[in-house]
Chains A and B, each alone.
Chain A
Amino acid sequence: MEENKSQKFDAIIVGAGPAGVAAAVTIARGGARVLLVERSEFAGTKNMIGGAVFLTALKDIFPNSWEQAPIERYINKHTWSLLTDNSSVDVACDFPCSPKSASIYRSKFDSWLVDEAKKEGVYFAPSTLVKRLIKKNGYFCGVETELEEIFADVIILADGVNSLLARQHGLRYDYETKDTVLSVKETIKLSKEIIEERFNIEKGTKNGAARNFLGGLKLENAPFALGFMYTYTDSVSIGLGVNLEDLNRYGLNPSDLLERLKEHPNVKPLIQDGEMLEYSAHLIPEGGFKKLPKLCANGVILVGDAAGFINAIHFEGTNFAFASGKYAGETVLAALKIKDYSKKTLKLYEKKLKQSFVLKDLKSYKDIMENLYSRTESLMNYYPKKASEFFKIFTGANCKPKRDEFRNFIVHFIKDRSLRELLKDAWAFISSVFGVLK
Chain B
Amino acid sequence: MSDDKAKKTIEDKLTTIKYNCDSESHLVIDRELCKNCESRCCTYICPAKVYTYDENQNIINVDYENCLECGACRIACPYGAINWNYPKAGYGVVFKQS
| Inter-chain contact A235/B47, CB cutoff 8 Å | no
User: Interface 1/0s, chain A 231-275, versus B by CB < 8 A?
Assistant: 000010100000010011001111100010010000000001111
> By the criterion CB–CB under 8 Å, are A278 and B45 in contact?
no
Q: Residues 143-187 of chain A: 1 if any B CB is under 8 Å from the residue's CB, otherwise 0?
A: 001100000000000000110100000000011110010101111
- How far does the alpha carbon of A409 sit from the alpha carbon of B74 in the complex, in Å? 46
CB atoms of B86 and A105 under 8 A apart: no
Residue of B16, B72, B88, B93 most packed against chain A (CB within 10 A) = B72
- B72 with A48: CB separation less than 8 A: no
Is A79's beta carbon under 8 Å from chain B? no
* B89 engages A129 (CB within 8 Å): yes
Known: A164-B86, A277-B97, A278-B98. A247 touches B45 (CB 8 A): yes
Cβ of A235 and Cβ of B97 under 8 Å apart? yes
Q: Once the chains bind, are B2 and A273 in contact (CB under 8 Å)? A: yes
Q: A280 and B89: CB pair below 8 A?
A: no
A282 — which chain B residues lie within 8 A by C-beta?
A: 68, 70
CB nearest neighbor in B for A274: B5
Give per-residue flags for B34-69: 1 if the beta carbon is below 8 A from chain A beta carbons, else 0: 000001010011111100000000000000000011
User: Does A48 lie within 8 Å of B44, measured CB to CB?
Assistant: no
The answer to whether A281 and B68 have CB atoms under 8 Å apart is: yes
Q: Tell yes or no: B94 within 8 A of A by CB.
A: yes
Query: Would B98 and A48 count as touching, CB distance under 8 A?
Result: yes
Asked whether, in the complex, the Cβ of A283 is within 8 Å of the Cβ of B86, the reply is no
Q: How far is the CB of A140 from chain B (nearest CB, A)?
A: 20
B31 at the interface (CB under 8 A from A): no
A279 touches which of B16, B45, B74, B88 (Cβ 8 Å): B16
- Across the interface, do A129 and B86 meet the contact criterion of CB distance under 8 Å? yes
- Partner of A280 from the list B39, B75, B95 (CB cut-off 8 Å) is B95
- On A, residues with C-beta under 8 Å from B are 39-42, 44-49, 105-107, 127-129, 145-146, 161-162, 164, 174-177, 180, 182, 184-187, 235, 237, 244, 247-248, 251-255, 259, 262, 272-283
Cross-chain pairs A/B with CB under 8 angstroms, 24 sampled: A39-B89, A46-B93, A105-B97, A106-B98, A107-B96, A127-B90, A177-B76, A182-B47, A182-B70, A186-B7, A187-B98, A244-B45, A244-B72, A247-B41, A247-B45, A247-B76, A253-B47, A255-B47, A272-B1, A274-B6, A276-B7, A278-B16, A278-B97, A280-B95
